[in-house]
């Protein structure tokens, strides 16, 4: 028995980054513009630079104050972006469609209590019985209500409550790999006929002391706000964390056509993997992913969206692979303009690719003095993300004829 494979299309985009709110803002700044302006904050967390949350009226997508109050900022951002995607797809408020809609969310851990972390670190400097110290503080300093408000699957729960998306729900964790797997899972379900429409994406807030500490513990953060993303030797200059809420509505082509939906792009293939990166094995894995997704250089009308994190050595290797694999395609480094948003990085790249394919104009440079101009509008797009520690993914998209 031959199984029917369904074309997968993108019909809704919900995007919030440091550049602004909504895909219309991003299209205006990234399509046909000569020099998009980065929005960064290099003072609040000096010497580190972050791409901050833009000004948002949460009530536009989360009308009840009570719902807003019980969420952390990263959850508010995700719920807001999900609402934008549903609205853009024409499905917001359609109770029947939302009730049968699958949801797949890429989420990180909740925001930590920095005061408690600081207390433990300071007292740990004075005591040798640190295991006993941790036991004491876990029982006396942590608030159960704070912990419950930060559970990773509460982003999906809050989307269900606020937007009534009540089909099957999956929450994936694992930094950049979670975003890759979320898109891959949604694509596979629709292509196999297990789902007809799906809400998928993630959210990350850059303005978090705990995440800055985690990345800097790996000696990964950039420390010079004036340094470009790529140095002259082809290496990245360090991670600048980015803020992004990126959700997409994916549908089978039949489902989208039946309801007359606007189609941004066709998602032709998406795959992710992970494994050792030494001795060229990362490049071998990326080559296999590119082969299996059909990601090839077709010339100037193919745009490559590189999700490099900014870690110098690993990002340099990613860039070298892309330049070798796609020598004539314009390359756009997401982190150069938006920063690095971990779980939301791959969904953000997909959203940007869809905007580029939907436009009848070339995509703007992301890195001034580095990106070659795109001479023509994009007909196909490649999106990559290589996690700062693990996980790689590639997606191929094309313009609907």
The predicted structure's pLDDT at residue 154: 87
Say what the alpha-carbon torsion angle 227, 232, 234, 235 is, to the nearest 10 degrees. Answer: -40
264 near 10, Cβ under 8 Å?
yes
200 beta partners: 104, 248
Helix axes 345-358, 23-30, angle to 10 degrees: 70
Cα–Cα distances in angstroms (integers) from residue 338 to residues 81, 181, 242, 275, in the given order: 16, 21, 6, 27
Phi, psi of 394 (to 5 degrees): -140, 135
The predicted structure's pLDDT at residue 368: 76
Cis peptide before 47 (omega within 30 of 0): yes
378 near 363, Cβ under 8 Å?
yes
Name 32's Cβ contacts closer than 8 Å, sequence gap at least 6: 359, 361, 362, 364
- Two tokens, residue 143: 């608030």
Q: How far apart are CA 22 and CA 84, in angstroms?
A: 7
The predicted structure's pLDDT at residue 117: 80
Nearest to 60 by CA among 89, 91, 28, 82: 82
Q: How far apart are CA 158 and CA 295, in angstroms?
A: 36
Per-residue pLDDT reduced to its tens digit, 53-88: 999 999 999 999 998 988 888 999 999 999 999 999
Phi, psi of 75 (to 5 degrees): -70, -40
CA-based angle 273:346:313, to the nearest 5?
70
Q: Which residues of the chain have pLDDT under 70?
A: 1-3, 34-35, 110-111, 143-150
Q: How far apart are CA 79 and CA 84, in angstroms?
A: 9
Q: How far apart are CA 186 and CA 208, in angstroms?
A: 29
Phi, psi of 302 (to 5 degrees): -105, 125
Question: For residue 28, with 0-12 CB atoms within 10 Å meaning exposed, 13-18 middle and 19 or more buried, which class applies?
Answer: middle
Q: What is the pTM of this model?
A: 0.92
The predicted structure's pLDDT at residue 36: 72
The predicted structure's pLDDT at residue 144: 62
248 near 82, Cβ under 8 Å?
no
The CATH number given to 8-111+150-398 is 3.40.47.10
Q: How far is CA 126 from the centre of its chain?
A: 40
HEC assignment per residue over the chain? CCCCCCCEEEEEEEEEECCEECHHHHHHHHECCCCCCCCCECCCCCCCCEECCCCCCHHHCCCCHHHHHCCCHHHHHHHHHHHHHHHHCCCCCCHHHHHCCEEEEECCCCCCCHHHHHHHHHHHCCCCCHHHHHHHHHHHCCCHHHHHHCCCCHHHHHHHHHHCCCCCEEEECCCHHHHHHHHHHHHHHHHCCCCCEEEEEEEECCCCHHHHHHHHHCCCECCCCCCCCECCCCCECCECEECEEEEEEEEEHHHHHHCCCCCCEEEEEEEEECCCCHHHHHHHHHHHHHHHHCCCCCCCCEEEEECCCCCHHHHHHHHHHHHHHCCCCCEEEHHHHHCECHHHHHHHHHHHHHHHHHCCCCECCCCCCCCCCCCCCCCEEEEEEECCCCCEEEEEEECCC
Helix axes 281-293, 312-325, angle to 10 degrees: 40
């Amino acid at each position: 028995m031959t199984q029917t494979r369904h074309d997968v299309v993108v019909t809704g985009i919900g995007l919030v980054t440091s550049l602004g709110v909504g895909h219309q803002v991003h299209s205006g700044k990234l399509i046909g513009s000569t020099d998009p302006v980065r929005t960064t904050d290099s003072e609040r967390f000096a010497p580190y630079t972050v791409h901050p949350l833009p000004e948002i009226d949460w009530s536009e997508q989360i009308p009840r104050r009570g719902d807003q109050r019980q969420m952390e900022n990263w959850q508010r951002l995700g719920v807001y972006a999900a609402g934008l995607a549903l609205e853009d797809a024409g499905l917001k408020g359609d109770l029947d469609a939302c009730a049968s809609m699958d949801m797949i969310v890429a989420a990180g851990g909740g925001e930590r209590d920095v005061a408690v972390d600081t207390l433990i670190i300071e007292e740990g400097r004075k005591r040798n019985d640190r295991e006993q110290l941790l036991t004491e503080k876990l029982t006396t300093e942590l608030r159960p209500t704070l912990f419950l408000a930060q559970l990773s699957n509460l982003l999906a729960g809050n989307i269900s409550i606020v937007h009534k998306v009540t089909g099957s729900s999956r929450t994936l964790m694992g930094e950049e790999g979670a975003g890759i797997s979320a898109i891959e899972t949604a694509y596979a379900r629709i292509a196999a006929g297990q789902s007809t429409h799906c809400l998928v994406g993630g959210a990350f807030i850059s303005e978090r002391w705990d995440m800055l500490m985690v990345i800097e513990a790996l000696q990964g953060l950039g420390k010079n706000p004036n340094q470009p993303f790529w140095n002259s030797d082809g290496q990245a200059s360090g991670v600048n964390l980015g803020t992004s809420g990126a959700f997409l509505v994916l549908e089978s082509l039949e489902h989208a056509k039946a309801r007359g939906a606007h189609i941004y792009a066709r998602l032709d293939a998406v795959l992710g993997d992970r494994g050792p990166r030494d001795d060229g094995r990362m490049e071998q894995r990326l080559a296999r992913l590119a082969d299996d997704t059909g990601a090839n250089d077709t010339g100037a009308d193919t745009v490559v969206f590189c999700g490099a994190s900014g870690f110098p050595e690993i990002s340099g290797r990613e860039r070298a692979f892309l330049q070798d694999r796609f020598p004539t395609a314009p390359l756009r480094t997401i982190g150069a303009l938006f920063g690095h948003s971990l779980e939301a990085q791959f969904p953000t790249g997909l959203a940007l690719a869809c905007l580029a394919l939907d436009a009848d104009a070339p995509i703007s440079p992301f890195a001034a003095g580095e990106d070659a101009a795109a001479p023509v509008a994009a007909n196909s797009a490649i999106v990559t993300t290589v996690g700062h520690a693990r996980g790689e993914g590639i997606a191929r998209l094309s313009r609907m004829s």
